C-alpha cells in the first residue's frame, strides 16, 4: 500500500443547500408581493410580472448564485482514510473537516457532468448509515462528453479511483470497496426510466385518441422528456463502461 498522503485542492458546491435556500427565498418574495398587491389594490398583472422575475432570477444569476454556495476544499487520501477539509476564502485555514475511513465504505459511484468546469458528484455508500453525496467543481476541459481528457489527467476522479484500487489490492475480496453504476445506469434506474416512458407514451396515445385537435405543445414536451431519460441513461452507461475499463494507469501522486 502506498503510504504517501495525496492532497488535491478543489471546490465543493452544495447544491441541496442552494436549492432549499433559493426555494424559501423565492416563495417568501412571491407571498410578500401578492400581499402588497392585494393590500394596495394593484393590477394582478403585477403579480405575474414579478413572479416571472423572481422564478427566472436563478437562471439569470446562475453563476453568482453558484459562487455563493461554493467552498474551497482540500481533499486528502492515504492508506486509511479520505478526508474533505473546507477552507476559508483565502484557501489557507480549515473551517471544518470530514473524515471517512476506507473500511467503513462499502461502495461508491461517480456522476460526471457534461459542462465546463466539470461538476463531479461523488456518492459514498457506507456499511452503516445513509449514503453521502458531494459535488466538486473540477478542472476546465474542452471536451466534456467523451471523458477522455479527464481520464488522461490528474483530476478528482482519477486520483480517487486509483486510491480505491490501491486499497482493494491489500484486503479480502468481500471487504473491497465496490464501484456502482450511476442511477440511470443501474437496474433501478432502468426500471424507472422504462416505467415513466410507458406512462408518457400512454398519455400521448390517450391525448391523440380523446382530443386530437388540441395543442401539441404538451406532446412535444412529453417526447422531450422521454428523449432526455434515454439520453441520460445512455451517457450514464457510457461513463460506467469507461470507468470499468480505466484499469491500466498508475495512481497519480500529488503532494502539497
pLDDT tens, residue by residue, 162-180? 889 888 888 888 889 988 8
Q: What beta strand segments (E) does the chain contain?
A: 6-13, 70-77, 81-87, 94-101, 105-112, 119-126, 132-137, 178-179
The set of cell numbers assigned to 62 is 446562475
Q: Please state, in angstroms and as integers, the Cα–Cα distance from residue 223 to each residue in 10, 129, 200, following that order.
A: 38, 38, 8
Is the pLDDT at 83 greater than 90, yes or no? yes
Q: How far apart are CA 217 and CA 233, in angstroms?
A: 25
- pLDDT tens across 19-73, in order? 888 888 888 888 888 888 777 777 777 777 877 887 777 778 877 888 888 889 9
Q: Binning pLDDT at 50, 70 and 90, where does residue 104 land?
A: very high
pLDDT given at position 146? 64
Which position has the higher pLDDT, 254 or 109?
109
Q: Are 193 and 229 in contact (CB under 8 A)?
A: yes
Is the pLDDT at 127 greater than 80, yes or no? yes
CA of residue 255 relative to chain centroid, distance: 27
Q: Binning pLDDT at 50, 70 and 90, where does residue 255 land?
A: very low
Q: Binning pLDDT at 50, 70 and 90, where does residue 215 land?
A: low
pLDDT given at position 254? 41
Strands 178-179 and 105-112: parallel
Is the pLDDT at 226 greater than 70, yes or no? yes
Which position has the higher pLDDT, 241 or 174?
174
Q: Binning pLDDT at 50, 70 and 90, where does residue 224 land?
A: confident
Q: Is 167 exposed, middle or buried (0-12, 13-18, 19+ CB in 10 A)?
A: buried
Which position has the higher pLDDT, 255 or 236?
236
**Rounded to 5 degrees, what are φ and ψ at 58?**
-60, -30
Q: How far apart are CA 147 and CA 141, in angstroms?
A: 9
pLDDT (mean) for 79-108: 89
pLDDT given at position 101? 94
Q: What percent of the chain has pLDDT over 90?
A: 12
pLDDT given at position 105? 93
Amino acid at each position: 500500500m502506498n503510504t504517501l498522503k495525496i492532497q488535491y485542492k478543489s471546490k465543493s458546491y452544495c447544491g441541496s443547500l442552494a436549492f432549499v435556500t433559493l426555494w424559501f427565498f423565492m416563495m417568501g418574495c412571491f407571498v410578500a408581493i401578492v400581499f402588497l398587491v392585494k393590500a394596495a389594490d394593484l393590477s394582478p398583472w403585477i403579480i405575474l410580472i414579478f413572479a416571472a422575475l423572481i422564478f427566472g432570477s436563478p437562471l439569470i444569476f446562475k453563476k453568482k448564485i453558484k459562487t455563493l454556495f461554493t467552498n474551497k476544499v482540500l481533499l486528502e487520501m492515504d492508506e486509511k482514510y479520505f478526508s474533505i477539509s473546507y477552507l476559508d476564502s483565502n484557501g489557507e485555514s480549515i473551517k471544518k473537516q470530514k473524515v471517512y475511513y476506507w473500511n467503513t465504505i462499502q461502495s461508491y459511484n461517480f456522476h460526471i457532468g457534461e459542462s465546463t468546469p466539470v461538476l463531479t458528484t461523488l456518492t459514498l455508500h457506507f456499511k452503516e448509515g445513509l449514503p453521502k453525496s458531494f459535488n466538486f467543481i473540477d478542472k476546465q476541459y474542452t471536451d466534456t462528453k467523451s471523458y477522455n481528457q479527464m481520464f488522461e489527467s490528474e483530476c478528482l476522479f482519477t486520483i480517487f479511483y486509483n486510491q480505491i484500487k490501491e486499497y482493494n489490492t491489500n484486503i479480502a475480496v468481500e471487504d473491497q470497496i465496490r464501484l456502482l453504476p450511476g442511477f440511470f445506469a443501474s437496474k433501478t434506474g432502468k426500471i424507472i426510466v422504462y416505467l415513466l416512458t410507458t406512462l408518457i407514451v400512454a398519455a400521448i396515445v390517450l391525448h391523440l385518441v380523446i382530443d386530437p385537435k388540441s395543442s401539441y405543445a404538451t406532446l412535444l414536451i412529453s417526447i422531450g422528456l422521454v428523449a432526455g431519460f434515454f439520453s441520460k441513461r445512455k451517457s450514464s452507461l457510457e461513463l460506467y463502461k469507461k470507468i470499468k475499463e480505466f484499469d491500466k494507469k498508475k495512481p497519480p501522486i500529488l503532494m502539497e
